[in-house]
Structure 1
Amino acid sequence: MKKIDLACIIDDDPIFVFGAKKIMQFADFCNSFMVYHNGEEAINGLKSIILAKEKLPDIILLDLNMPIMDGWQFLDEFTQIPTEHEITIYIVTSSIDPEDINRAKSYNRVTNYLVKPISIEGLRKILEES
């Protein structure tokens, strides 16, 4: 399994973000990570990185239910931005709604749909898939 260089967490829940970062460190999942607290903050930050030709994340862990701009709105906007760097997107949410699961499948850039909480085993599976 290869290690991810840069992971991005887009989630408004500080407890989930804290836990996910700790689990990523414990699992030796990635070298570093960036965090955005809603989709709008993530779009603005990632657009700036793309324009500056700086290092983009290899993987995004995306929550669906967030204020200001939710995960679906983020996906709709982010998938329209051309990038040379392939970014793997995983939806990580508490939603077990079949409509959300099916909707996620309609996005080519979404690799998988994971239900919270995230685990070391879940992170290892992500590493195997990437």
Structure 2
Amino acid sequence: MLDTKINLLVIDDDDINIFIIKKIVEKTGFDIEMTSKSNGQQAIDFLKDVIANDRPIPHLILIDINMPVMNGWEFVEAYASLAITQKVDLYILSSSVYENDIERTKSYTSVKGFISKPLSMERLTELIKDIRI
């Protein structure tokens, strides 16, 4: 077990998916601080506030693709312009079955991979164990 609190940011406009992820987080046994935002713009604003106030940057960010205001791809591009120097693991978490979405994920060096919804406890546990703090 990691003995450091993990900061998780979930960007998804589906309240049911957020609820499911919260329940999975509770069951992992890890000390996880989860924040959720319903679109990419809210997440960018959140991260700018975190940076401005010298608060802990999320270790792990899970990003849905299809959201209002700013979608997942737009978030990843806007994220690149933030001055974040810490290592952050970004993953696309989507119900998309389109091969071009999976391939597009590979075109972003900041994104570690594509995860199909729903997120499982086993997969979240793997992601957390892979975090290097």
Match of 1:111 in 2: 112
By how many angstroms is 1:4 displaced? 5.5
Distance in 2, matches of 1:116 and 1:122, equals: 11
Distance in 2, matches of 1:26 and 1:92, equals: 19
By how many angstroms is 1:28 displaced? 2.1
By how many angstroms is 1:29 displaced? 4.0
The two structures, once aligned, show a CA RMSD in angstroms of 1.4
1:1-130 aligned within 5 A: 2=2, 5-130=6-131
By how many angstroms is 1:79 displaced? 1.1
TM-score, length basis structure 2: 0.91
Structure 2 letter corresponding to 1:85? Q
Distance in 2, matches of 1:52 and 1:17, equals: 26
Structure 2 letter corresponding to 1:63? D
SS in 1 for 2:10: strand
Structure 2 letter corresponding to 1:54? R
Unaligned runs of 5+ in 1: none
By how many angstroms is 1:30 displaced? 4.0
| Identical pairs, percent | 35
Structure 2 letter corresponding to 1:48? D
Distance in 1, matches of 2:57 and 2:129, equals: 20
SS in 1 for 2:81: coil
Deviation beyond 6 Å, 4+ runs, structure 1 = none
SS in 2 for 1:73: helix
Paired residues of 1:90 and 1:111 also in contact (CA < 8 A): yes
